[in-house]
Amino acid sequence: MAIPEKIKSFFKPSVIKIVLTIVILIYAFYATSMVYPWGHSPSLIPVFLFMPLMFAGIFSLILVIPYSYILSCLVVLLFNSIKTKKWLLILVIVVFILLTGIDEPVVNNTINAPDYSCSVDSDCVVKSISKGWCGNPQCVNQDWEYYDSMINSVFALSCMQPLLSCSCVENNCESKDLYKSTDINDCEKLDGYQKEVCIRMVLYNINRTNE
């Protein structure tokens, strides 16, 4: 096949290319909307995937559509190249899932859902129950472990933990935000620097309440 024909075939529209373009566009807007000062992303795929558009400024809003179409063409070309090799196709799909971190929220919302069960207060500890952009620290059973995706365990950023007090109420771990507390006894469950911060915050809240 001549080079012009190959180029024409590469860019030739199809249903799958259009669908992939829409998916990539949705993913692009989803990725760009998740921007926080203490950002924590489960994957660096958005950065790598859309890096060419980061230098286009306002024009990236226009270029993102043809760029997404080119990406969809590349994906189709890749799968057409390996569709006869089923083992390689499966490998590509698995690697894609791991690199995008999709496995992380899926696993932690299904077979590894947070365990809030407890018998005593000491059964409950503060752990993040999600890692998308600084996570969501909550009091959970001390034996429950968050499942990290491959990409997240390598590249993820850590976030400052909030001041939470854990209690076991009716065999369920409950979280109390100590930044809003007016009970100095809430700080007794903390140690070191966190305890000092807690005491300062509680005293501040008490003084503000008494004003």
Distance CA 16, CA 23 (A): 10
Q: How many CA atoms lie within 13 A of 195 on its CB side?
A: 7
Cα torsion through 122, 126, 130, 131, rounded to 10: -140
* Torsion 118-119-123-125 (CA) sign: positive
pLDDT at 6: 80
Give the total number of structural domains in the chain: 2
Q: In this structure, are 182 and 147 located in the same domain?
A: yes
Structural domain boundaries, residue 62:
3-100
Q: In this structure, are 32 and 66 located in the same domain?
A: yes
Digit-by-digit pLDDT tens for the chain (211 residues) are: 567 788 888 888 899 999 999 988 887 776 666 543 334 455 566 667 777 887 777 788 888 899 999 989 988 888 887 777 777 777 777 777 766 667 777 888 889 999 999 999 999 998 888 765 556 788 999 999 988 776 655 444 445 567 888 999 999 999 988 888 888 888 887 888 888 888 898 899 888 887 6
Q: Which of 69, 100, 131 is the last residue of a domain?
A: 100
Q: In this structure, are 113 and 206 located in the same domain?
A: yes
Q: In this structure, are 139 and 196 located in the same domain?
A: yes
Q: In this structure, are 93 and 113 located in the same domain?
A: no
Q: How many CA atoms lie within 13 A of 62 on its CB side?
A: 4
Q: Cα 112 to chain center, whole Å?
A: 16
Q: Which of 46, 77, 100 is the last residue of a domain?
A: 100
Q: In this structure, are 24 and 74 located in the same domain?
A: yes
pTM over 0.85: no
Cβ neighbours for 172, distance < 8 A, ≥ 6 positions apart? 116, 117, 118
Q: In this structure, are 93 and 132 located in the same domain?
A: no
